[in-house]
Structure 1
Amino acid sequence: MDLTTAPSSATATASAAPLRVAVLLASNREGRFAPVVSDWFLSRTAGHPGIETDLVDLAELDLPIALSHRPGAEARAQLAAVSPRLAAADAFVVITPEYNHSYPAPLKNLIDWHHAEWQAKPVAFVSYGGVSGGLRAVEHLRQVFAELHTAGIRETVSFHNAGALFDEEGRHKDPSGCDAAAEALLDQLVWWGRALRDAKAVRPYGI
């Protein structure tokens, strides 16, 4: 008896499809530096084979505070603009600054409005800030996303004293180090994203 099993056509198709990555831009402050970082990161993903990105800019959302997992009509209407995008994603990258040793409140609000949308998907982090480069925000986020059954990517990209690193046109002045870090992050994200997507095609994730 032959115990080997060929992959189903559905699984093979899923494996070949581009990885859908939702890039969450966490800052919503006026005069924010966030677009410079997101533009840089998206220019890196543009050259990476097998990735499709969807930029979710929290400054464009107006979600009510997540006081309950049973939203009213107004909240449902606002969530309809973002929830399907999170559900469709195979993986996530969070681009975050550091506010008072942690991450922005609108990001926590977005996270708390959702549950199944995060589960069994990888999440990676790109951070920026002053001396710490936003890494304290990332460490807090790792705990939050672990509770939601995500797979945290070890590799990160962090920009210390970020404002001094880019020129007036948003180009990094010395990109070799951050380019290498982004490549390592994306390679891990793609591996985990494909592995988890293929696994869920065979057996739905359940807790």
Structure 2
Amino acid sequence: MQTPTDTTTDTTLASATDIAPVGSSATPVRVTLLIGSNRTGRFGPVIAEWLLGRVRQHDGFEVEVVDVADADLPTTFATTPESTARLAGITPKLAAADAFIVLTPEYNHSYPAALKNLIDWHFHEWRAKPVALVSYGGVSGGLRAAEHLRQVFAELHAVTVRDTVSFHQAHAAFDETGHLKAPSAPNSAARVMLDQLAWWAQALREAKERRPYGG
């Protein structure tokens, strides 16, 4: 159970014992971190910087970043030379990824429209890959947005990992320099989530090498 001062997962930290840590493999796990808000004054980049630090300290990850605020996404769903060109900076990063981390705020009990637009412009890029969810918001910590995203990614044949990291009253959790005021619980929660992501990424990559996914 979270305390009012904690910013941690929606599970107890005791779940850290549920899965063994995953060490480095011969081939690093390629992770794409997707920053899902493009609102003016958004808080996402602050959390993303902390999250990138956690990913880079984890064994066996290589990380890329896709920020929807930097994406010139087509607004009309039609595959044309123009839409393909506008997606050229994003699609290769998704296609090359073994796994994803999606950072989302909660807007009106769900995730942002810009994030859904980016997700919907792709299909094969998500298939048979794991997705970790990091959310932030007010009292809810963005957990409703995260749960809605599980349904979306299930339809795209992706696997969302069980543990999340959620920041309740996110602005209050960080100081003016962008550092967590109480980092112990969020850091531990991130480690559990990243261990699960690494396990699923390696397992699914090895499975697809033996037999292409045909779902």
TM-score, normalization by structure 1: 0.90
Partner of 1:40: 50
Question: What is the CA-CA distance between 1:99 and the residue it aligns to?
Answer: 0.6
From 165, 170, 177, the counterpart of 1:157: 165
Question: What is the CA-CA distance between 1:64 and the residue it aligns to?
Answer: 1.1
Q: Which runs of 5+ in 2 are unaligned?
A: 1-24
Paired AA for residue 214 in structure 2:
G
Paired AA for residue 45 in structure 2:
P
With over 3 angstroms needed to count, the CA separation of the structure-2 counterparts of 1:66 and 1:110, relative to structure 1, is farther
**Count of residues paired in the alignment:** 191
Partner of 1:53: 63
TM-score, normalization by structure 2: 0.87
Question: What is the CA-CA distance between 1:66 and the residue it aligns to?
Answer: 5.0
From 98, 104, 112, the counterpart of 2:120: 112
From 83, 87, 103, the counterpart of 1:95: 103
Alignment of 1:139-154 (within 5 A): 139-154=147-162
CA contact (8 A) 1:90 1:193 kept: yes
Instruction: Give 3-state SS (helix, strand or coil) of 1:39's partner.
Output: helix
State, as a whole percentage, how many aligned pairs show the same letter.
62
CA contact (8 A) 2:36 2:102 kept: yes
Deviations along 1:34-80, whole A, 9 cap, x unmatched? Answer: 11000010011111110011011110001112524xx1111010111
Say whether residues 1:187 and 2:195 are aligned partners.
yes
Deviations along 1:149-198, whole A, 9 cap, x unmatched? Answer: 11110000000000001000100000111111000000000000000001
CA contact (8 A) 1:66 1:112 kept: no
CA contact (8 A) 1:122 1:152 kept: yes
The CA distance in 2 between the partners of 1:99 and 1:24, in whole Å, is 17
Instruction: Give 3-state SS (helix, strand or coil) of 2:41's partner.
Output: coil
Paired AA for residue 142 in structure 1:
R
Partner of 1:8: none
Question: What is the CA-CA distance between 1:95 and the residue it aligns to?
Answer: 0.3
The CA distance in 1 between the partners of 2:207 and 2:109, in whole Å, is 36
Say whether residues 1:72 and 2:80 are aligned partners.
yes
With over 3 angstroms needed to count, the CA separation of the structure-2 counterparts of 1:66 and 1:184, relative to structure 1, is farther
Q: CA RMSD in A?
A: 0.9
Q: Which runs of 5+ in 1 are unaligned?
A: 1-14
| Regions of 4+ moved over 3 Å | none
CA contact (8 A) 2:72 2:87 kept: no
Say whether residues 1:122 and 2:130 are aligned partners.
yes
Question: What is the CA-CA distance between 1:202 and the residue it aligns to?
Answer: 1.1
